[in-house]
Amino acid sequence: MVRIFDDIQACSTADVARLQQKVAIYSPARCEKASRYKDLYAQWTCLKAFEMVIDWLEPQGIQPPLDIVLNDYGKPFLAQNGTPLDYHISISHCKKGIAVAFDKSPVGVDMESFRNIRESLIAKTMNAHEQHAIRHAKEPTMEFLKIWTRKEAYLKLLGTGIQSLEKLPEILADFEPQTAETYQSQQIQIQTFVVPQKEYVYSVAKKSAILV
Per-residue pLDDT tens digits for 154-191: 999 998 766 666 788 999 988 988 887 888 887 899 99
Domain range list for the chain = 2-108, 114-206
SS (H, E, C) the chain: CEEEECCHHHCCHHHHHHHHHHHHHHCHHHHHHHHCCCCHHHHHHHHHHHHHHHHHHHHHCCCCCCEEEECCCCCEEEEECCEEEEEEEEEEEECCEEEEEEECCCEEEEEEECCCCCHHHHHHHCCHHHHHHHHCCCCHHHHHHHHHHHHHHHHHHHCCCCCCHHHHHHCCCCCEECCCCEEECCCCEEEEEEECCCCEEEEEEECCCCCC
Say yes or no: do domains 2-108 and 114-206 share a fold: yes
CATH number of 114-206: 3.90.470
Per-residue pLDDT tens digits for 38-82: 999 999 999 999 999 999 999 988 889 999 988 887 888 999 988
Tell me, yes or no, if the pTM score tops 0.85.
yes
Q: Could you tell me the CATH superfamily of domain 2-108?
A: 4'-phosphopantetheinyl transferase domain (3.90.470.20)
